[in-house]
Chains A and B, each alone.
Chain A
Amino acid sequence: MIDKSMNVLVVDDFPTMRRIVRSLLKELGFNNVDEAEDGQDALGKLRAGSFQFVISDWNMPNLDGLEMLKQVRADGCLGATPVLMITAEAKKDNIIAAAKAGANGYIVKPFTAATLEEKIGKIFEKLAK
C-alpha cells in the first residue's frame, strides 16, 4: 500500500503543467504536494525538506531534469528518492540517458491520468519488493 500522505515534489518550468500534475495527484489521493520551477530550485527544496517522491520535467532552465536526477543520485541523503520523469523529450537517447541516470520511470508528454496512476503504482510496487 502506497502511503499517500507522502511529500511529493513536482518540478517543471511551466506553471500550467505543475498545476495539472498537482490536480492529478490530488485525484489519486496525494495531497502533500510542493512545486519547484527548475532543477536548482528543486535541489534546494529537496535538501531542505523531506520528500519521498519527485516528479520532474527534463527541459528546464538553470539546471535541467537529467542533471538534477544525477545530483540527487549522487547525494548521500537523497540518493534513493524515487524520481519519475514526465517530459516532452522523446528521443530514444533521452529514455536511455534517463534510465542510466537512475530515473524510476519515464512518461512522455502528452500523457493521460491513467498512465500517471499506472507508473506511480509500478514505481512503488518495485520499491516495496
Chain B
Amino acid sequence: MQGNAQQVIVGTEGDDLMRRIGQLTRMLRQSMRELGLNKEIEKAAAAIPDARDRLNYVARMTEQAAERSLNAIDRAQPLQEQLGREAEALDAKWRAWFEHPLGLDEARDLVNVTRGYLRNVPVVTQKINAELLEIMMAQDFQDLTGQVIKKMMDVIHEVERQLFQVLLDSVPEGREREDMRQRLEGRWQPGVVEEDGTLTNGPQINGDADGVVSSQDQVDALLDELGF
C-alpha cells in the first residue's frame, strides 16, 4: 500500500506532506510527554483488561443462569408428565368401571388406588414448585450482571474522556482546537461519571482478592467475629 501512496504523491507535494506529517507526529509526542498524557493513555490501556474481566464475568453468570434454569426444567417436566399420565390411567379405569361395575373387592381397590394418587399430587406439585422457584432464583444474574455492566460503562466512559482530552491537547491552542472540540463534543455526550466510592463497587469479580468475602458463610463468620 505504501508503494501506491508513493506513486500517487509525486514530487514536491509529496515531500511537503511527509514533512508536515513528521512535524505533527513530533509535536504530538512532545505535547503528550509535556502534559503527562502518555501516562493517561497508559491508564486507559490498563483499563481494558479490567473491562475484559467484567465481560467474562457477565458471560459466566448468564451461562450459569441458563444452565440452572434448563436443569430445573429437565427435572420438573417428567414430574408433571407423570401426574398427567397417572390421572389419565385412573380416569380410564373409572370409565371402565361405570360401563361394567365391578365387585366390591375390585371397587375398593380402585378407590384406594385413586386415593393414593390424590395424596401423591401435593407431594409432586411441591417438588415441581421447588423447581419453579429454582428457575426464579436463577434470574438473579440479571441484577448482578446489570451492576457490572454499569460499572463497565463508567470505565469505558472514563477511557473515552481521557482519549478525548489527549486528542484536544495535541492540537495547538486557537481556532483549530476550538473547531475540533466542537466536532468531538457534538459526537460525544459528556455524562456523569460516578466517583469511585470505596463502598459501592458492585459485585466482586474475583472472590479471592484481599478484603473480599466470597460466600454467605464468610459474611456470617465476620459478623460473628465482630460480635454481631
Contacts and interface: CB of A to CB of B under 8 A. Distances in A.
A107 B203 CA distance: 13
Interface residues of B, number: 30
A55 to B, nearest CB: 14
A95 B140 contact: no
Contacts, number: 92
Contact of A92 (B139, B203, B213): B213
Given A92-B213, A107-B216, A111-B216, A99 B228 contact: yes
A88 B212 contact: no
Given A59-B200, A66-B199, A106-B223, A92 B140 contact: no
Given A91-B212, A107-B219, A109-B203, A23 B136 contact: yes
A106 B217 CA distance: 11
A59 B150 CA distance: 11
Interface in A52-93: 58-59, 64, 66, 88-93
Given A16-B142, A64-B200, A109-B143, A90 B213 contact: yes
A66 B147 CA distance: 17
B92 interface: no
A91 B140 contact: no
Nearest to B129: A27
Interface residues of A, number: 32
Contacts of A91: 199, 201, 204, 211-213
A94 interface: yes
A114 B143 CA distance: 19
Interface of B: 133, 136-137, 139-144, 146-147, 198-204, 207, 211-216, 219, 222-223, 226, 228
Interface of A: 12, 14, 16-17, 20, 23-24, 27, 58-59, 64, 66, 88-97, 99, 106-113, 115
8 contacts: A14-B147, A17-B143, A88-B143, A88-B144, A88-B203, A90-B212, A99-B226, A115-B216
9 closest A-B pairs by CB: A88-B203, A14-B143, A17-B143, A16-B142, A59-B200, A90-B204, A99-B228, A90-B213, A92-B211
